[in-house]
Amino acid sequence: MNNLKRLDPYEIRKDFPIFERKIRGKPLIYLDNAATTQKPRSVIESEKRFYEEINANIHRAVYTLSYEATVLYEEAHKKVADFIGAKSWREIVFTRNATESINLVAYGWGLRRLKEGDEVLLTIMEHHSNIVPWQMLRDLKGITLRFLDVDSEGRLDLDKLPNLLSEKTKLVSIIHASNVLGVINPVKYIINEAKKVGALVLVDAAQSIPHIPIDVGDLGCDFLVASGHKMLGPTGIGFLYGRSELLDSMDPFLYGGDMIETVTLDKATWNELPWKFEAGTPNIAGGIGLGVAIDYLNKIGLRNIAYMEKELLDHAFARFSDLPWIEVYGPKGDERIGVISFNIKGIHPHDIAGVLDEEGIAVRSGHHCAQPLMRRLGMDNAVRVSFYLYNTKEEVDRLVDVLREVKRVFGV
Ligand SMILES: Cc1ncc(COP(=O)(O)O)c(C=O)c1O
């Protein structure tokens, strides 16, 4: 455990007011962190403080409140930039979420740059938000979408990569960690391969960024997207990282106020980065709150979180191995984030989630916005549990007890 600090989830939970809540009289066991994480008090307080003490629009006035709001909002960009090792805070564009960030690249880069015959390479593991925008471009521009397959366990089939990459490949857009299987993909290797054919690479870090330290310089990616709400931040705020030369050369995505330098009745010129991509009044309180979430993550330490999650996962896998009637998806023994998807034969995942909810246990059931992957692995739906820094082994034990109860109730 060199230089790692053992985290105490019972202490950490005290920072999260939601755990004071009871669900049907029972303590909340929140295992849906891949969908969204809970918020520490500091993030909640930051939003409250903004509206109570600062609330003003940014960039448009000289008065004190507006100045303070502008400074805090810009500082939040700097915190994100430092968190992912970007060279400049101007490479960070605040958006609503990872989905909007991918759309920004599809419209701002793809719409003008791609032409018939060009190819975009995705994997079949992608979240719908990294498939559907590219399908839109395919239909508008006549580009071809290619998909890297997974093996029967759900690992990316890297042997097939060379056949999918060619000088026609203009962009490779890949998920860093799967929201269904938890597998962490070898994005650095894929980026290196993509660079050999001159393709740009977008990394969807929505699931990885709350769990794994990321350095965009080390990865060598061109774009990276994430959502604030999956990393302890508020909803309605996310970001796009893009290399500044690329962002400079791209077209805006949304047009209007704040993203311009000058406007005549005839034409407009664009503001400097990142404002060129942040049209209209942004989510100021949310952006500041995201910065505070990053402060919190830095204080706890992502490597400490990853270590603790690994212990939790090992415990969960050990306990699940006592339940032979549970089918767990994803490669065994590989490094993964704290996500486990499973099914119990003969019981619909929604029914399992319903019984768990009766006991105060929040899990996700369904297709997890990854229908192509689910189909490839031979299922339509699954139950997904996903851990974060406030989850405990005791909660895992309670989950296992209730799953035994589920099996008994449904008589399978
Ligand atoms: C891997 C991945 N990418 C993208 C998204 C989209 O995130 P959002 O809905 O916040 O835009 C998600 C959400 O679950 C995800 O898991």
Task: Let me know: does 225 contact 179? Beta carbons within 8 Å.
Answer: no
* Residue 334: band (very low, low, confident or very high) from pLDDT cuts 50, 70, 90: confident
Indicate whether residue 204 lines ligand 1 (CB < 6 A). Answer: yes
Asked whether the bond before 274 is cis by omega within 30 degrees of 0, the reply is: yes
Indicate whether residue 97 lines ligand 1 (CB < 6 A). Answer: yes
Encode burial over 147-168: b for 16+ CB neighbours within 10 A, e otherwise: bbebeeebbbeeeebeebbeee
Q: Which residues are registered as beta bridge partners of 177? A: 184
pLDDT greater than 90 at residue 255: yes
CA distance 15 to 72: 23
Note the pLDDT tens digit of each residue in 47-74: 999 999 999 999 978 999 999 999 999 9
Which of 292, 276, 273 is CA-nearest to residue 284?
A: 292
Report the separation in Å between the CA atom of 94 and the middle of ligand 1, taken as the mean of its atom positions. Answer: 15
* CATH code 3.90.1150.10 region(s) in the chain: 9-41+301-410
Tokens of 192: 């290196």
Q: From the alpha carbon of 229, which atom of ligand 1 is closest?
A: 10
Task: Let me know: does 337 contact 182? Beta carbons within 8 Å.
Answer: yes
Torsion of Cα atoms, 317 then 323 then 325 then 330, to 10°: 0
328: exposed, middle or buried (C-beta count within 10 Å: 0-12, 13-18, 19+)? Answer: middle
Q: What is the mean pLDDT of the chain?
A: 96
- Cβ neighbours of 258 (radius 10 Å): 17
Note the pLDDT tens digit of each residue in 264-297: 999 999 999 999 999 999 999 999 999 999 999 9
44-298 is classed CATH 3.40.640.10: yes
* CATH code 3.40.640.10 region(s) in the chain: 44-298
Which of 40, 5, 59, 31 is CA-nearest to residue 232?
A: 40
Classify domain 9-41+301-410 by CATH number.
Answer: 3.90.1150.10
Pairing of strands 22-23, 169-175: unpaired
Among 99, 203, 225, 386, the mutation site with the greatest number of ligand 1 atoms within 8 A of its Cβ is: 99
> Mean per-residue pLDDT for 141-148?
98
Indicate whether residue 207 lines ligand 1 (CB < 6 A). Answer: yes
Indicate whether residue 125 lines ligand 1 (CB < 6 A). Answer: no
Pairing of strands 364-366, 26-27: unpaired
